[in-house]
Amino acid sequence: MKGIINSLIIFFGYIQIISAQASIKPVCPSSVIGNFGNTFTVDIVVGDPVPVTDLFSASFTLTFTNTTYLNYNGIMAGNFLGGSPFIFAEPSGDRVSVAITSIPSVGPSSGSGVLAKIFFRITGTVSSPTVNYFNIIKAFGYKQNGDTIRLYPQETMMTIQSATGVYSEDIIFDYQLKQNFPNPFNPKTNISFTIPKETFIDLSVYDIMGNLVKTLVNDKLLAGDYIVEFDATEFNISSGVYFYKLKTPEFTSVKKMVLIK
């Protein structure tokens, strides 16, 4: 899947035409309570205040300054591109790099709206208020013909308030899709995930071109921790990079794994 995104948003050997410009910004709560396990959402909004025209795909990196108490916890597409856009996120330290693309049958979108929703989790107990800044860097949009749309970002500040009330590190607060183990693998690997409430989930494996390899789970599950085995011997697949995606009505997360035969 990442190969699809790269082919859509990176045009090797060609000079890009900067044909338009628009705004992009992170929108988050002005403050959150710093209890361990609390979660919140950062909306990535395009076209406000400067509207975007004919956006088909985009790439950007969201940075955050408070790595002591904040951790990336997943991503899902917003409603701006419509349909079922493909979205990929790669977290690393104080940033999350994101690529998102519409599908040809839906086409480009114009105006303003939520491009993506990025989820964060409080990873410790905050003893005194602290500040975090969200910023977007390396932001570019692309039209369906390949022309580039320069996206100009804005910074957003959020206060993490002191922890209050009763909390426990044993309570399941949020959705989590964990890295498979072992990775790389041959021929079997385990995929772990956590859901905080009873919900319908889909856990599927895809090849690098976005083709479905196997749906591992497609059912309604109770809150809890789960481990699912993926056995590559069941399929005629070669060594390489594969992706597994956990999707619920409220949460989507994608991670990559490597099969070495």
Global pTM? 0.64
Number of compact structural domains in the chain: 2
Mean of per-residue pLDDT scores for the chain: 85
CA-to-CA distance for 76 and 119, rounded, in angstroms?
A: 8
Containing 44, the helix (H) or strand (E) segment is strand 39-46
Note whether 143 and 221 are same-domain residues.
no
Which CATH number goes with the domain that contains 194? 2.60.40.1930
Contacts for 158 with CB less than 8 Å, ≥ 6 apart: 28, 29, 30, 31, 32, 131, 132, 133, 134
Pairing of strands 18-27, 148-153: parallel
Note whether 182 and 156 are same-domain residues.
no
> Which pair of structure tokens corresponds to residue 122?
């409080």
Note whether 18 and 131 are same-domain residues.
yes
> Which pair of structure tokens corresponds to residue 90?
């790669």
Tens of pLDDT along 56-77?
999 999 999 999 999 998 888 8
Tens of pLDDT along 13-61?
333 444 578 999 999 989 888 888 888 889 999 999 999 999 999 999 9
Q: What range defines the domain where residue 255 resides?
A: 176-259
Note whether 123 and 51 are same-domain residues.
yes
Sign of the torsion angle spanned by Cα atoms 82, 87, 91, 97: negative
Note whether 110 and 212 are same-domain residues.
no
Note whether 231 and 127 are same-domain residues.
no
Q: Which residue has the tokens 């005629």?
A: 236
CA-to-CA distance for 230 and 40, rounded, in angstroms?
A: 31
Q: What is the pLDDT of residue 172?
A: 52
CA-to-CA distance for 155 and 137, rounded, in angstroms?
A: 10
Q: What is the pLDDT of residue 173?
A: 60
Mean pLDDT (whole number) for 83-104: 90
Count of positions (residues) in the chain: 261
Note whether 185 and 112 are same-domain residues.
no
Note whether 149 and 183 are same-domain residues.
no
Higher per-residue pLDDT: 11 or 128: 128
Tens of pLDDT along 179-198?
999 999 999 999 988 888 88
Q: What is the pLDDT of residue 174?
A: 79
Question: Does a structural domain hold residue 78?
Answer: yes
Alpha helices in the chain (DSSP H): 2-9
Higher per-residue pLDDT: 164 or 102: 102
Of 163, 159, 162, give the one whose Cα is nearest residue 128: 162
Note whether 40 and 131 are same-domain residues.
yes
Q: What is the pLDDT of residue 165?
A: 60
Which CATH number goes with the domain that contains 18? 2.60.40.680
In this prediction, residue 224 has a pLDDT band, given cuts at 50, 70 and 90, of: confident
In this prediction, residue 8 has a pLDDT band, given cuts at 50, 70 and 90, of: very low
